[in-house]
Amino acid sequence: MNRYLDISPEVHMALDAGLPVVALESTIISHGMPYPQNVETALLVEQTIRDCGAVPATIAIIGGRLKAGLSQDEIEHLGKAGRAVSKASRRDLPALVARGADGATTVTTTMIIAHMAGISVFATGGIGGVHRGAETSMDISADLEELAQTPVMVVCAGAKSILDLGLTLEYLETRGVPVIGYGTEELPAFYTRSSGFKVDYRVDGPEELAAMFRAQRGLAYKGGMLVTNPIPEKYSMDKAVIDAAIEQALKESREQGIHGKETTPFLLARVVELTGGSSLESNIQLVLNNARVAAETAKALCQA
C-alpha cells in the first residue's frame, strides 16, 4: 500500500472481504455547495450507497494524508472550511502531501486515490471536459486525461453542461475512453437528459455494465470507463432555462477574468443563483441517482 495512503477501517474490511465499495469525491463538499447543505448531501450520498448494499469511500486529502473513506467529523471539517480547502488535481498532490495540507479531490484525484486503494467504481455528479473556447484557451480538464490512464469506472450524469460537449466526446474518443450510456444512447448533459450527441454504447443494467468493465480489465487496458447516467426525468431542468443561465455565467466569467481551476466552481455557483437554486436541487438528485447505479454495478462486479 502507498505510504501516503490511509484507508478507513470500514473500507479496508470491505475490500479485504471482497465486498462492493464505491468511491466518492470531496470537491462537491468543499467547492460544490454551501454549508451545511454540502455536508448533508455528502452524508446522504454515503447512506444511499449503504442502502444499496455497498460501502461508500469518500476521498480527500486531510493533513497531507490521502484518505479513502472519511469519518463524519472529517466530512464536517471539509464542509465548514469550504473553499479554504484546496481544490486538488493531479499536479497538486505532491505539494499538499509534503506540506501536510488539506485538499478536496476532483474527479482526477479521486480516481488516482481510489485506484491506489483498490476501488474500481466511482460515483460523481459530472466530469470536467473541454471548455468552450478551448481552441484558443487550451482549457481542457485533467479529468479526461485521467480517464485515459487510470482503470476506474466513473459513473456520472455526463460532462458538465457549461462545457463544449462535442469536443469533450472527441477528446475522449482520441484517448480511447469508452463512453457508455446507462439506459440511453444519447450523452446526458448534467442538468438535462439529452445533448444531441451519441454515446459509444448503451447498457441497460448493472450486470451488463459490470461485464463490459470486466472485459476491459481482462484486455489489460490501462484506462478507465465513463458511464453516463441521465438525471431522473422528475429533476431534469428546462433546456432553454439552463442554457440561458450558462451563457450569462460564461459571459460574466470572461468579463471578470476567471480562468483555470476557478472556472468550474464559479460557473456552477452562478448558475445556481441565476436559476433561483433549482439547479442545486437537480445537482443533488443526479448525484444520488449516480450513487445508486455505481453501488449496483460494484455489487455486480463482486458477484462474478
* Residue positions annotated with a catalytic role: 25, 160
User: What element of type H or E holds 295?
Assistant: helix 278-302
How far apart (Å, rounded) are the C-alpha atoms in residues 248 and 231? 23
> What are the beta bridge partners of residue 105?
88
Buried b (16+ CB within 10 A) or exposed e, 263-274: bbbbbbbbbbeb
Burial group, residue 198, by CB count within 10 angstroms (0-12, 13-18, 19+)? middle
> What are the beta bridge partners of residue 23?
57, 122
Instruction: Evaluate whether 41 touches 287 at the Cβ level (below 8 Å).
Output: yes
How far apart (Å, rounded) are the C-alpha atoms in residues 179 and 88? 25
Residue 135 CB coordination number (10 Å): 10
Q: Is 69 helix (H, G, I), strand (E, B) or coil?
A: coil
CA proximity to 181, closest of 123, 239, 226: 226
How far apart (Å, rounded) are the C-alpha atoms in residues 173 and 156? 17
In the structure grid, which three cell numbers stand for residue 44, read together?
446522504
How far apart (Å, rounded) are the C-alpha atoms in residues 150 and 146? 6
Which residue do the cell numbers 455528502 mark? Answer: 42
Residues in the chain: 304
How far apart (Å, rounded) are the C-alpha atoms in residues 104 and 127? 15
How far apart (Å, rounded) are the C-alpha atoms in residues 79 and 237? 26
